[in-house]
Amino acid sequence: SLARSRGIGVMSLALRLRDYASVAVDVVHALAPVSLALALLVVALVSALARVCHARATLARAGVGAVPWRPKMLWTVYQKSARSLLARVEGRFAKTTRGDGDGRRAFGAVVGTCPFVHIGEAKLARDVLRGTTTKAPLYHAFEAFSGTGIFTAEGGDWERKRAEVLRALAVVGLASLRDRAVDESKRIVDELKSALKLVTNDGMEVLMLPALQRLALRVTFGYLTGKSLDEACDEIGQDRIACEAEYLAAATTLRHLIPARARSIWIFSDLLYGLTPVGRLEARNIRATRLLSSLALRVAKDDSPLGILRRGEAHLRERSVDVDGDKFPKGLLDEATTLLFAGHDTQSATLSWGLLRLIDHVNIQNDLRASLKDGLVVEALGLRANIKPPKKKSSGAATTPAWATSAFAPMLESVIRETLRLHPVAPLVVRML
């Protein structure tokens, strides 16, 4: 009886052990994918850490001081930075300047796993730009908006498209741009004067940036298409004011959003960025800007810059895309989008900063105004004024217009250059070394 009970106990223990072993096997099978995923994650982290260390070592071998990279989450659009970009960059130059007095202005940072060097010295920057034309990876943030236009194109594609754009601008010339700028400027001034007539003695506050944005957009659109924005909107039955306002609102949002993405964690994934609120906001505003680009291509005269690009080859090689029911070659639509934005944004920003600086320097403002009353300058700039025209040279030699050289308007040229020095519209040029 005792032997029988012991045998039963051993058998029961064996059965329990078998059950435990079976459960253990099931657990191992269940955890195998998780374990594999964890192992792959560890390998990826170790690999990324090794690449970061290699990037830091690269900066150290180059003798460039490094600053930490602090990416932003970017859940909302930042309308205004706590400090200007140039102020932040100057602070980093100060932190990383070597004490041996070599005068080199450069600092490094590891963005993700890629080493970057920010150069602020003219000769060194020229050497870098001569040595490479590769814009990746930071220009990737602009590709959803600019597509394959000359701003983001690379290599041979960039060279062919750049040649076509320069040829189109050279064929049309700058005289039409000057005339368009004079006409649209007079129109903006007349609009402001009309508004002032309705003002009481208390005065009127005018936001000049929107007015200057409208001016720059009208000048750019008119030059690129050979038609005014009013003519283009009338041709397709659209309201010019609504079209203008929609584009400028979208372009202003993108001006804040796209550079911010380049400094955020979303630079690494288009898919994840597209799921965020700012990613969806960017997509909506890009569609809004494309409406004006398609309008420009639809109405452009054959002898306008966009009309000439329509007959080129480099911009017609890509597939067609649909915009509001019309199809356009993607490369051509991307180029129109790039030229419209680059033209109006740079002009309006420079004009705004220039006027703001002149308000603070009344003596320079008076000197500039006096210099522009010179008859030769007025004639060359195409301005309309009750000023006697300059005497013709006895030699009969043609004078070079002031819109082609600063020789006739040195004061104006100085103001523009100082404005761009203090407030550069494109303070960064990124290239892969």
pLDDT digits (tens, 9 = 90+) for 270-304: 888 888 888 999 999 999 999 999 999 999 999 99
pLDDT of residue 281: 92
pLDDT, mean over the chain: 81
Non-local (6+) Cβ contacts of 255 within 8 A are 345
How far is it, in rounded angstroms, from Cα 404 to Cα 414? 15
* Segment 91-135, tens digit of pLDDT: 888 877 765 555 578 888 887 778 888 887 778 778 877 777 777
Residue 243: what pLDDT?
A: 93
Return the pLDDT at 393: 44
Confirm if 118 and 88 have CB atoms less than 8 A apart: no
Work out whether strand 106-111 and strand 114-119 pair parallel, antiparallel, or are unpaired. Answer: antiparallel
* pLDDT of the residue at 110: 84
Mean pLDDT for 13-33 is 71
Residues listed for the chain: 433
Separation CA 261–CA 273 (nearest Å): 9
pLDDT classification of 170: cutoffs 50, 70, 90: very high
Q: Evaluate if residue 16 carries a pLDDT over 80.
A: no
For residue 30, the model assigns a pLDDT of 72
Banded model confidence at residue 6, pLDDT cuts 50, 70, 90 = low
Mean pLDDT lowest among 156-165, 194-203, 222-231: 194-203
174-216 pLDDT, tens digit per residue, is 888 888 988 898 888 888 888 777 776 666 677 788 889 999 9
Taking the C-alpha atoms of residue 232 and residue 241, their distance in angstroms, rounded to an integer, is 12
**pLDDT (tens digit, 9 = 90+) per residue, 389-408?**
444 444 444 444 545 556 67
Contact 212, 220 (CB under 8 A): no
What pLDDT, on a 0 to 100 scale, did the predictor assign at position 62? 78
- Look at residue 39 in the predicted model and tell me its pLDDT: 82
* Highest mean pLDDT: which range of 17-21, 48-52, 175-179, 333-337: 333-337
pLDDT of residue 13: 67
**Hey, is 294 helix, strand or coil?**
helix
**Average pLDDT over every residue of 318-338:** 90
The answer to whether 64 and 96 have CB atoms below 8 angstroms apart is yes
| Main-chain phi, psi angles of 155, to 5 degrees | 55, -135
Highest mean pLDDT among 9-13, 100-104, 332-336, 370-374: 332-336
**Residue 108 pLDDT:** 84
Residue 75: pLDDT band by 50, 70, 90 thresholds? low
pLDDT, position 83: 62
Determine the Cα–Cα distance for residues 76 and 79; give it in Å rounded to an integer. 9
Q: What confidence score (pLDDT) does residue 389 get? A: 47
Q: Is 286 helix (H, G, I), strand (E, B) or coil?
A: helix
